[in-house]
Structure 1
C-alpha cells in the first residue's frame, strides 16, 4: 500500500511518518486490497487543546473509506482514525462475504 502524508504549513517529524506507516500497514490484515492511503495532518488555530485534525482516506477497489478525528496529539488522532477504518473494513468484508 502506498501512503501519502500531506501536511500543509508545517514539517512532519520522521518518527510520526514511521508511526503512521506502521499503523496503516496493520489495516492490511483486515483487508488486503487497499490501493493507497492519503493522510492529511492539520493544526487548527484555536485555544482548544484538541487542535490536531487527522483525516485518512483509504482507496479500495470500488470505493473510498474516510475517517476524520480531532485529538491533542497526531499519534492519538491516527490511532482513533485507524480504529474507525478498521471497523469500516470489517463491515465491508462482511458485506462481501454475504453477497458472495
Structure 2
C-alpha cells in the first residue's frame, strides 16, 4: 500500500511521520485490497493563533473511497481518533460486501 503524507503550512518531525506510516500499514489487516492512502496534517490557524491540529485520511479501494477528518490539540490524538474511525468504516464496508 502506498502511503502519501502531506503537511500543510508546517514541517512535521520524523517521529510523527513514522507513527503515521506505521499505523497506516496496519490497515492492510482490515482490508486486503487497499490501493493507496493520503494523510493530510494541517494546522487550523485563526488570525495567527494556532487553534487545533487537523488530520484528514483518505483511503482508496477498488470502487470505493473512505474519508475521515478529526481535530484536537495534538496531531497524535487527532490521528488516533481519525484512524479508529477509519477502521470502523473499513470494517462496516467489508461486512456489507460479505453479506
Per the normalisation by structure 1, the TM-score is 0.91
Matched with 1:36 is: 36
Separation in structure 2 between the aligned mates of residue 3 and residue 81 of structure 1, nearest angstrom: 15
In structure 2, distance between residues paired with 1:62 and 1:73: 33
Distance 1:19 1:62 in 2: 28
Partner of 2:78: 77
- Aligned counterparts of 2:83 and 2:96: Cα–Cα separation in 1: 20
Per the alignment, residue 90 of structure 1 pairs with 91
Distance 1:32 1:87 in 2: 15
Counterpart Cα distance in 2 of 1:58 and 1:31: 11
Does structure 1 retain, via aligned residues, the 8 Å contact 2:31–2:90?
Answer: yes
Quote the residue 1:7 is aligned against.
7
Runs of 4+ in 1 over 4 A off after TM superposition: none
Q: Structure 2 regions of 5+ residues with no counterpart? A: none
Q: Distance in 2 between matches of 1:72 and 1:9?
A: 16
Structure 2: distance between partners of 1:8 and 1:79:
19
Q: TM-score, normalised by structure 2?
A: 0.92
Q: Distance in 2 between matches of 1:14 and 1:2?
A: 18
For the pair 1:63 / 2:91, whether they are aligned, the reply is no
